[in-house]
Structure 1
Amino acid sequence: MLDIAFPSALGLAALGVLAYYGQRRYIAGCRVRIVLADTKTSAIVRHTESEGVVTLHDVLHMECPSLTDPEQAYMVPTPYLATGLLQTIYSTLQVRKRSPGTDVAYEREMLVMADAGTVSIDWLVDASLSNRDAPIVLLMAGVGGSSREYRVRVLAKALAYSPARCRMAIVNHRGTAHTPITALRPYDVGFTEDFRAVVKHVRAANPHNKLVGIGLSMGANILTKYVGEEGPKCMLACAVAVCCPFDVRVSSAAINESNLLNNHVFQPAIMGALMRAIKRASHLPLDPTWNIDVETVHSATRLQVLERELLIKICGHKDVNEYYEKAGSIDHVDNIAVPFLAINSLDDRITPPSGIPVDKFRTNPNIALALVPHGGHLGFLTGVPPRIWFVQPIVEFVLAAVK
């Protein structure tokens, strides 16, 4: 007969205590960290007779419990998505996920840019949302993304049905979401002119509505750079950037590194969208002075190849280093003059924390940074079944900023 030793009651109790404290320690490590200027210098967000002066510090600590409340400000990952790698892979593979709660109807508006390029705006349509004076939220996705993304639909619906009843306008980059390709100039991580034109157009058509900007990943960099370029003239009431690649050099190096995530998930997803757009643009003649190697472009499997062989030549950059320097939003953060919230993850392999200008968030009184330990790139998945954590903080911040 086998002599099987079973744990004693004391041993089981010890294991239970270790598991309990291990879990408590893990959860404590999931606390959201906020970086912003001190209370004395924090910028004024609003000033009313009933409230008096309300600063950005006040907004975050009084009206954004998901970010600052000691009992609520945690992003505890879904148990089976406990690392940034798993969060990123899952969210990338689920980007077109459908569910009854996120199905939305859009009404499309086409805008032709100064260079004849076309951008589309998908306005969320719902008969129950009839407040024409509500804030208008302009939302941009990342590379290859659009109004069809699951996370975009979730966020759009949450803001539309929030107490502010926001009017949602999803800004689709050139060539995305079946937007016609009518000019060779492609969108890129630092191209702000299309978004600037959209803001001016929406403002002209809605002169009294408050405008809000939200950007995800590449869209976050475009938004951040735009808000910094505009400075005090910015037409937006507030802005939110999620997983912003502030330093494009750092982000590009991370994206083009050879690893499991890039080789089998992220690069194929990005390149699939970009190569489809290139194919749809084949009717447009190339300028022979660009010296573009068409065969290299069509056989590209990495984003960096398209940047070197196509983007920098069409856009007139000297080399890829000049492109990275001009495209990044990091040098524009100091000039942001509207309430601005950035949400980044410390285990994001696509926009690594080394590229986040943390110190700038301590000196510019208009901006705040929320750092999440375990969110991956555009993951931030918590609970079972997984739900997107950053939706609630964004809703809280926007509602407080547009009061």
Structure 2
Amino acid sequence: MTQDLPDDETNLYRAITAVSSIAVLATYYVFNVAHKPKIYANNGTLQNFLSKNMPSLKDTYWPSWFSWEGRLQSALGLNLRIARTEKLPYRRQILQLQDGGQLAVDFLGESSDDVANEPKLVVLLLPGLTSSSNTSYVKTLAMTIVKSNAIVAVLNNRGLGGVPLKTPRTYCCTNNEDIREVIAHLKSQYPKSKFLAIGTSLGGMMLSRYVISWPDEARSTFVAALVISICWDAMIGNASLEKPFLNKYIVNYTLTSNLQNLAKRHRTVLESRRDCWDFDKVFSVKTIREFDHHFTAPQFGFSSWEEYYTAAQITPEIHKFSIPVFGLNAIDDPMQPGEDLPIKQAIQKGSNLALIVTERGGHLGFLEGIFPFRKPFHYMERLVGEFVNAIRLHAEELLEEKTVDNLEGSTTLNEPQVEIAGVC
């Protein structure tokens, strides 16, 4: 069409086309992408706490204009924040666990000696599926917590963080043994401090299951918990991850490969429990569900992935939360569909859950800004910074909420609960 037009008319046509395209894109972005987050909570104390102390929740979240799609946010969020080669000055402690295993806890901020006579806020940070203290978003969250005048302790699950695996056992979201030993260690290190727990993705699922399983211990330890981009129902999350094409063949496949690499890295130790696994099957699977069926489920006493995922569900037991739990999820998270978020549970009478929901953000993405490249702090970090500051300065506003009616199975560290693990 433009070939028949004079040069000046051709240039005008192209300019009008470009401006029109930009206008359409901008209109779509403003009306369908950029939104204020929604808060779902029945508990007035939790609502007031967020309203009073987290001003960013009152503003529109403007996702990065070129990467607002959920899966793109998820992928870029792991790579654009901070380089893997950039190291943080962690202080590492290797914990020898009761069953002979070991893991690393990496601290950032003041040491226990520095705060011996001055109570501080200590934040236990539980990373995602195969993440460690050196993963990009974990480092930026740790930096954010320290900027908020708190101490962060990053739990590196067994076999992660460069720590050799000593026993043929890894980790899963239904087993609380390692978390409880780390908590006991932190309380001995910082006896006068108050504690906050933050879990991301699988780490948030582990944290949620801990609060459900050990309500008294959680209530006596933590002021509150924040869980980010968690899968509230493993069955639903798995179904979403297996939807073709992008979810199954890119997101699911990548996560499965990461898990297989972890198993390969520690195969020599794991093979001492060969009656538990068929490694040919473990290394030939294509989905997380298959990996969990052949690797995770059997080592923790589950007969199948269905049994494991049922035990990992959080939504049916949200009413057992014994402390205030704040959740941050994006509707376009490929691992947790927005239509299946526990909104009904959050707005039920007596609920200790306050759910923050954004329209966009993906899974641990929440990128913002026109040029997000190597920008360490985005929307997720901003909210975490405000939340940590609020807990540090105004924890007393939540103390009255650390009660739940009709708690079942209450236990404490002094009353150890028997957990069936490692039964093949």
TM range (shorter): 0.7 to 0.9
Distance between the aligned counterparts of 1:97 and 1:77, measured in 2?
Answer: 21
Which residue does 1:156 correspond to in 2? Answer: 142
User: What secondary structure, in the 3-state scheme, does the structure 2 residue paired with 1:121 have?
Assistant: strand
Which residue does 2:404 correspond to in 1? Answer: none
Q: 2:199 aligns with which of 197, 208, 215?
A: 215
**1:350-397 deviations in Å (ceiling 9; x for gaps):** 222244211111124432101010111111000032242111112212
Deviation at 1:19, TM superposition (A): 7.2
Q: 1:62 aligns with which of 47, 52, 68?
A: 52
Distance between the aligned counterparts of 1:36 and 1:177, measured in 2?
Answer: 36
Which residue does 1:169 correspond to in 2? Answer: 153
Q: 2:214 aligns with which of 197, 216, 230?
A: 230
CA contact (8 A) 1:312 1:320 kept: yes
What is the TM-score with the length of structure 1 in the denominator?
0.84
Alpha carbons of structure 1 residues 305 and 266: separation in structure 2 relative to 1, 3 Å: closer
What 5-or-longer segments of structure 2 have no aligned partner? 394-424
Q: Aligned runs of 1:125-140 on 2, under 5 Å?
A: 130-131=114-115, 133-140=119-126
Which residue does 2:412 correspond to in 1? Answer: none
Structure (1 or 2) with the greater strand fraction: 1
Distance between the aligned counterparts of 1:275 and 1:26, measured in 2?
Answer: 39
**1:268-321 deviations in Å (ceiling 9; x for gaps):** 25523542344324134444653x322222333432222111222222212221
Distance between the aligned counterparts of 2:24 and 2:289, measured in 1?
Answer: 47
What is the TM-score with the length of structure 2 in the denominator?
0.80
What 5-or-longer segments of structure 1 have no aligned partner? 43-54
RMSD of aligned alpha carbons: 3.0
Deviation at 1:230, TM superposition (A): 2.5
Alpha carbons of structure 1 residues 24 and 145: separation in structure 2 relative to 1, 3 Å: closer
Q: Which stretch shows the higher mean deviation, 373-382 or 387-396?
A: 387-396
Q: 1:300 aligns with which of 285, 296, 299?
A: 285
Letter in 2 for 1:322: E
Which residue does 1:309 correspond to in 2? Answer: 294
User: What secondary structure, in the 3-state scheme, does the structure 1 residue paired with 2:90 have?
Assistant: strand
Deviation at 1:202, TM superposition (A): 0.9
Distance between the aligned counterparts of 1:177 and 1:369, measured in 2?
Answer: 30
Distance between the aligned counterparts of 2:139 and 2:19, measured in 1?
Answer: 46
CA contact (8 A) 2:168 2:273 kept: no
**1:73-99 deviations in Å (ceiling 9; x for gaps):** x22110110211211121244477258
Which residue does 1:199 correspond to in 2? Answer: 183
Q: Aligned runs of 1:387-402 on 2, under 5 Å?
A: 387-402=377-392
1:272 maps onto 2:258 in alignment:
yes
Letter in 2 for 1:328: Q
CA contact (8 A) 1:134 1:167 kept: yes
Distance between the aligned counterparts of 1:204 and 1:365, measured in 2?
Answer: 31
CA contact (8 A) 2:102 2:158 kept: yes
Q: 2:353 aligns with which of 360, 367, 380?
A: 367
Question: Aligned residues: percent identity?
Answer: 23
Alpha carbons of structure 1 residues 11 and 188: separation in structure 2 relative to 1, 3 Å: closer
Alpha carbons of structure 1 residues 151 and 94: separation in structure 2 relative to 1, 3 Å: same
State how many pairs are aligned: 377
Letter in 2 for 1:25: F
User: What secondary structure, in the 3-state scheme, does the structure 1 residue paired with 2:347 have?
Assistant: helix
Distance between the aligned counterparts of 1:249 and 1:95, measured in 2?
Answer: 30
CA contact (8 A) 2:242 2:252 kept: no
